[in-house]
Structure 1
């Protein structure tokens, strides 16, 4: 196989840093990597990349050669799977900070919405399949619907295609893994970034690493940020965060890294627009209507301990253990179009916009530990890189509601499914906006009790192996068993119910890599994933959004949903190994799908009656075209289809929240030592609203999809001036064309998330 170790990138960045005179030496000379000193080379490469990223801001890195998950045993170019790596340089230069914004720009990734009962927070959909529970941090699952920030992230990895061998339950379309910043004994440094801009944008981040001695170090990352949503004055976002990382190496063979992480996010949520069924478009130029009392608050607290022990030259033990608590709560205002009732005293029959309330809370407590034994050994004449793993996870999720009352008098009468109701309209009888929209309802609230108590305890065993069959063929295989005990005490429309059952899940992964030439690898891979009944922790007994299907007796008898993926691909290292090019054709088939029955809001369900398929192609670029030009790009063209359903009318329809085509391109050009500029472009084709992982809503009478999210494109720009080795200035222009666009739709179209408007931000970076 191509021996593209991380030294390729390390060597190039070291050379660049020496040119600019910014990086301290980390070794007297650069060694040649071979099998005998691979570990030493990898360690030096890690240090080199980290040093250049921190001290060599003029040498921006848009490619990383290896996954941060140590269970991925080969470099990415030799890995039989599509894995996109977003580096910290790329993320910072894009101007994006929340993980949701970073991911939604990527090809093959779309967003979903929250709703009553489904906690508002980050929701990702990868290759057409729900991934809100498939988010990981340093290889450990990060449960709960929360706001996620990038201030303590070194890079983000998006694995495409089912990967339950690595991830456990879920991961139907892929998974997201964030690699956090860690303390290092190799250097001491400090970095402060201060930003200000339009929409009252203020952001301060600090990154400080202190090598205490040769064996221990401390790193601090801090965040304070506040802004209005661009183009939506009064829609506020506030972030406060802190991560402490401490590393100590008691001996040459034993090391510990301990991390404590805290994030407090306080937002005023904006549910954006809604789908106008008459015009077949979202309503444009909608006024800000969030109420003064609205909030979306997330608080995350975690502690992680990583231990690595080198038993001998061939055996290494790695453990990562985390305990965490997340809290997410929200009261948000929705908006829909309707007409005043004929009995309305002000303007009977007039078109208007009426307000509604969405609310809920979620508390998550979890503990997880993962043991990996890495064994390099010779067997049957082949050198094998084996991983034997054990993982234990216990997740407890309490979901509940608020009791909300509106204390201000209503101002209109509107009709609905439940007859005429007194309501709050933001348009007067002449169609003009009323005064003081934000104080129209006068909400008061108290936190109510839990209506779903979710708990899942999982014990997992897995084995993986990577070996060289011949000089041209590499084989990867993996097997995993997950045994879980599940319980969920729910209340609601179906009354009080206790769901309690256990099951075992089995998954596998097989990949073959063929070295066609010195710069080209071809691969084929087969992988599976498994989803359990009620696998989404935020839904209780609501089958329609990934919650439990059927009665407690039926749910216990349900088979897991099964996902199979076949992928053919190629990877090239071009321009002297500076640029990686990838191309893949894939087909994902999900069978035994749990489906809701009755209307779209039914808590009933059928078990294992659905089947769907996604097939497509994906192309990617990452790295340097020249010494001055860096790019990261990805493009997907996909097609989805319902193959089987309890409702024959669904067969042949597309999946909901699914974009057939998407494209992302980020470019950075540095013509000289003092100046760099670039930007990114993202495009997403139209998609259709509906329940996740099933058919998009369809209007059979008019032969068209019911809810349409229009296609959109967004252009962001940046320019950087390097004043000195210590001082750098950057300007970011977000949504440079000031396009009004929508990123996701609720299944009924009653709200559609708005993308950010144009913004301008300036950042000062000081290093010491």
Structure 2
């Protein structure tokens, strides 16, 4: 596989130091890649004696194996993002901020998905194509006001938000690619077939509008209340055209009201304790054209999924406010998860109940003048409590590791040198909600050496995955994508 990208970003600001400021920003990013769908899981249908003990497990092959075809596979992505930010200070206590953003991304890719052709080790190179264009135009206006009502000090934020999104994906078909062997793939196999459009496409146009109001109220030195409401309106038009020219046109409107509230207690100047509660939603149309047409059509008429979140936490600034410590207990409930009837995959209902709860702790800051640390640990306990599919009930939510940990520390040495080291741990997690396939846990260790040449120039060498650990980074239905192996990056920073 290969990733090649280049980009440019520029900002132009008018009115610095005045009450009215205008910032114009533009980002251009271009990518030319050879994509990798990864390594296949071993399905239960395989009877090859070398593979039967690996049913529903990772294939026993090197994670550097590549099952694509260099003669066919590619990925070209171009992104444009333009942003205008207008700010005006009416006074020290009343400020207006407007952000307008326009974005356009085109993606043209052909990828190979390795899939078993039968009961042996022979693989089909399944054709995966995406010729997609996504555009967005959004505008958000915030008014921030600070004022007192008696003994109460308010920070009020109110605003409106509008966005227009358009997405189109054109389908293509291709002649079959040569098969390959699980143990001995050849990326240089010739591809003599053709890739062509078959007339099928998906289009989605989404208009959304929102209005919100949030207030932070300080009650003396030790207490603070936060709360607010947000109303969203989403209007989605979706069109699916099959390869025979038959069109399916759908429209859906969603009206969503969400809210949040929090109580904060500050027992000391350097610490606080809080409890927060909030709601959120996942509309059925949130994926636009990123899923298959049949999947979108089957789910289109379902109401938004509803989420409830609870959090009890604390934050303390230690060592003369140089080191920050945070900790939190949390619980998120999806009260009406979208689930499919296994007897009828086209039947979706909002009858699922999913819960993820746990706690997290973290440190960030400076221990001494020369020693900095960033560390965090998260524990997740997930369960599917109700589902149309009985095989999901009592199982873990997919891709939810029970334990995860990260550490990065840097120490400044004499003569401008700097060293750093870090570790990351991700626990095992399942690839789907029936917990069919398990991605094992893994550790990854990194290191860094830096040198400050002078006030304007610094050099750095980063070492990633020092032990060259083979691990699963992303999980999919029939495959998984390995994490990056051992690598080294050399960089220079110049200030002028």
Establish whether residue 468 from structure 1 lines up as the match of residue 244 from structure 2: no
Contact kept, 8 Å, 1:355 with 1:426, in 2: the verdict is no
Contact 2:109 2:129 in 1 (8 A): yes
Alignment pair present for 1:259 and 2:57: no
Give the distance between the partners of 1:493 and 1:377, measured in 2 at CA: 61
With over 3 angstroms needed to count, the CA separation of the structure-2 counterparts of 1:536 and 1:570, relative to structure 1, is: same
Q: Structure 2 CA distance, aligned partners of 1:535 and 1:549?
A: 14
Q: What residue number does 1:525 align with? A: 276
Residue 375 of structure 2 is aligned to residue 633 of structure 1: yes
With the length of structure 2 as denominator, give the TM-score of the two structures.
0.91
Matches within 5 A, 1:296-375: 296-337=75-116, 339=118, 351-375=121-145
Between the aligned partners of 2:336 and 2:262, the Cα distance in structure 1 is 25
Alignment of 1:505-520 (within 5 A): 505-520=256-271
Q: What pairs with 1:706-717 in structure 2 (closer than 5 Å)?
A: 706-717=436-447
- Distance change in 2, residues 1:248/1:543 (3 Å): same
Matched, 1:425 2:161: no
Residues 469-618 of structure 1: pairs in structure 2 closer than 5 A = 469-492=219-242, 496-539=247-290, 547-550=296-299, 555=301, 558-598=302-342, 602=345, 604-618=346-360
* Partner residue of 2:204 out of 405, 429, 454: 454
Shift of 1:765: 2.9
Pairing 1:644–2:421 present: no
Instruction: Tell me, in whole angstroms, the C-alpha distance in 1 between the residues paired with 2:377 and 2:16.
Output: 47
Partner of 1:210: none
Q: Counterparts of 1:349-428 in structure 2 under 5 Å?
A: 351-406=121-176, 410=178, 424-426=179-181
Q: Distance in 2 between matches of 1:461 and 1:336?
A: 47
Name the structure where helix makes up a greater proportion of residues. Answer: 1
Q: CA deviation at 1:314?
A: 2.1
TM-score scaled by length of structure 1: 0.60
For each residue in 1:594-646, what CA deviation from the matched residue of structure 2 results, as whole angstroms up to 9, or x when unmatched?
2223379x4x2323111101001011111111111111112111111112112
8 Å Cα contact 1:331/1:357 also seen in 2: yes
- Pair 1:448–1:317, CA change in 2 (3 A): farther
Cα distance, 1:739–1:245 mapped onto 2, change above 3 Å: same
Q: Is the 8 A contact 1:549 1:607 kept in 2?
A: no
How is 1:134-145 mapped onto 2 (pairs within 5 angstroms)?
none
Does the alignment pair 1:720 with 2:462? no
State the secondary structure of the residue aligned to 2:368.
coil
Q: Give the direction of change, closer, same or farther, for the CA distance of 1:532–1:401 in structure 2 (3 Å limit).
A: same
- CA–CA distance in structure 2, aligned partners of residues 499 and 324 of structure 1: 25
The verdict on how the C-alpha distance between 1:628 and 1:251 changes in structure 2, with shifts beyond 3 A counting, is: closer
Change in Cα spacing, 1:761 to 1:654, as seen in structure 2 (3 Å) is: same
CA distance, structure 1, for counterparts of residue 400 and residue 297 of structure 2: 23
**Following the alignment from structure 1 to structure 2, what is the Cα–Cα distance between the partners of residues 621 and 480?**
32
1:291 aligns with 2:69: yes
Q: Hey, what does 1:127 align to over in structure 2? A: none
Partner of 2:46: none
Return the alpha-carbon distance in structure 2 between the equivalents of residues 448 and 517 of structure 1: 67
1:282 match: 58
SS in 1 for 2:80: strand
| Structure 2 contact 263–275 (Cα < 8 Å) conserved | yes
Q: 1:724 to 1:640 in 2, by over 3 A?
A: same
Counterparts in 2 of 1:56-67, with a 5 A limit?
none
Q: Which residue of 1 aligns with 2:14?
A: 248
Alignment partner of 2:188: what SS? helix
- Equivalences for 1:661-680 in 2 at 5 Å? 661-680=403-422
Give the Å deviation of 1:339: 4.8
Q: Return closer, same or farther for 1:510/1:437 CA change in 2, 3 Å cut-off.
A: same
